Homo-oligomer: A and B are copies of this chain.
Amino acid sequence: MFSKDTYVQRRKQLCKDVEKGLILIVGNSDVSFNYPANQYTFRQDSTFRYFFGYDIQGLIGVIDVESGEEYLFGEEVDMDDIIWTGPIPSISERAEAIGVKNTGNIKDLRNLMDKSVFAGRKVHYVPPYRAENVEFIADILHLDYRFVQAYVSTELIAACVKQRSIKSEEEIVEIEKALDTAYTMHTTMMHMAAKEGTYEYQIAGTMEGIALAGGGPVSFPIILTTHGEILHGHDHSLQIKKGRMIVSDAGCENPMGYCSDITRSVPVGGKFDARQKAIYEAVLSAQLLVPTLSKPGIKYSEIHLAAVEQLGRALKEIGLMKGDIHEAVMQGAMGMFMPHGLGHMMGLDVHDMENYGENYVGYDKKNVRSTQFGLASLRLGRELQEGFVLTDEPGCYFVPALIDQWKAEKKCADFINYTEVEKFKDFGGIRIEDDLLITKDGCRFLGKYIPKTVEEIENEMAK
């Protein structure tokens, strides 16, 4: 955990930003895997962790905005349990360590909520994303569980987003630790991908083992596939074969809960062929353009457009696009090659704060989300600020179903050379991703450099 002062300050700021009522922050509880006593590895709620620090199940924090009183609720471990669990700090010892004065059990929480709700005070909570927490909030606030999402607090969401968007120096240190582990995950992937015949799950499993041995879980289920064009795929069942690119999109959480998120795309066997090299370098040129443009005050939606325009220019050189590339971008032609956004915020969540709602995090009143295919998938569109951490992850994919659809509709036919694109239907996809910190004047890539150029990757794979 960080120092007591960090959590005290964060809650104090939250209190300032949410003007009235009580703030209810429900930590996560264990989730059953296949029977009640067998549980998934615990994952704390990021909001709870940010303001109350603990990575332990069954805790609830409350802040009375008006009185400034703070509470930590949870059930004490009883003497019989200590035989099985070993000595465990009491709730009040835990509260003390994070500067919280008041404690109680769940019944006490219930009483406090009843008293507050019956007195007509508002209880703020952020959107729960687990059925257990939906039921808990419904129960404690006397709501129908099917309507819990309807009463979330946009004031509390805004206050959380405001603080959590700007990463402190101590948070950056933690993110860079998670990136150290990601370095080992991806270079190990490169070594394993050099040998044809391995199964995808063997590589993905080994990478996840490295994450776990680094003290945290993966920050999301690893995408490791020789079919990179399947964007929503977690299948790892295939044997890797020469001629295919592997898209490896994987990161971890470090013991403090901070994430990394890296993608590397490498040729099975260790040598890019001419076509792979051409598409790879097109994507890389877009990825490397991003840090030259990113700085406080510029909208990330503009950088997305600049990056896909760069990709488009490179694809024109290969013969896959034609005509005025700037115009092609404006008309949405690049969505066929890159149907996703350039990046997203990253912090305690790999898509940081996504449980609050993407638009609360990545957009605001001045920066409204586009509806254009491709750009509509961009999670972060608003102006960058110093302290933002975000991903830079352009990609280029040849999705057979999408090519067929667009071609049949003659969509953007002035810009897309469908005759050439057809030849790439067996290609798969490529994505390249690093994590950027926005600094006072510009930005920098975080973490240890992971081989990224064609030459560097071929050298690493030969090791």
Known: A35-B354, A46-B34, A231-B84. A206 touches B209 (CB 8 A): yes
8 A Cβ contacts from A284-309 to B: none
Q: What 0/1 pattern do residues 215 to 253 of A give for CB contact below 8 A with B?
A: 100001100000101111110000000000000000000
Does chain B have a CB within 8 A of A401?
yes
B-chain residues with CB within 8 Å of residue A227 when the two chains form the complex? 86
A277 to B448, CA, bound (A): 45
How many copies altogether?
2
Q: Which of B202, B213, B232 contacts A205 (CB 8 A)?
A: B213
Minimum CB–CB distance for A375 against chain B, Å:
16
B-chain residues with CB within 8 Å of residue A130 when the two chains form the complex? 31-32, 131
Minimum CB–CB distance for A259 against chain B, Å:
10
Contact at B350–A129, with CB atoms within 8 Å? no
Does chain B have a CB within 8 A of A349?
yes
Does chain B have a CB within 8 A of A45?
yes
Partner-binding segment picked from A16-24, A36-44, A99-107, A112-120: A36-44
Task: Give the residue among A38, A339, A405 with the most B Cβ atoms within 10 A.
Answer: A38
Known: A41-B221, A206-B209, A221-B39. A83 touches B399 (CB 8 A): yes
A82 to B339, CA, bound (A): 13
Contact at A38–B351, with CB atoms within 8 Å? yes
Contact at B214–A205, with CB atoms within 8 Å? yes
A83 to B429, CA, bound (A): 13
Does chain B have a CB within 8 A of A204?
yes
A129 to B339, CA, bound (A): 38
Q: Which of B35, B38, B213, B221 contacts A206 (CB 8 A)?
A: B213
B-chain residues with CB within 8 Å of residue A215 when the two chains form the complex? 199, 201-202, 205
A36 to B215, CA, bound (A): 24
B-chain residues with CB within 8 Å of residue A134 when the two chains form the complex? 131
B-chain residues with CB within 8 Å of residue A402 when the two chains form the complex? 83
Measured CB to CB, the nearest residue on chain B to A43 is B33
8 A Cβ contacts from A185-211 to B: 199, 201-211
Closest 10 CB pairs of A and B: A209-B209, A205-B212, A205-B213, A131-B131, A35-B355, A35-B354, A84-B232, A86-B230, A32-B129, A202-B213
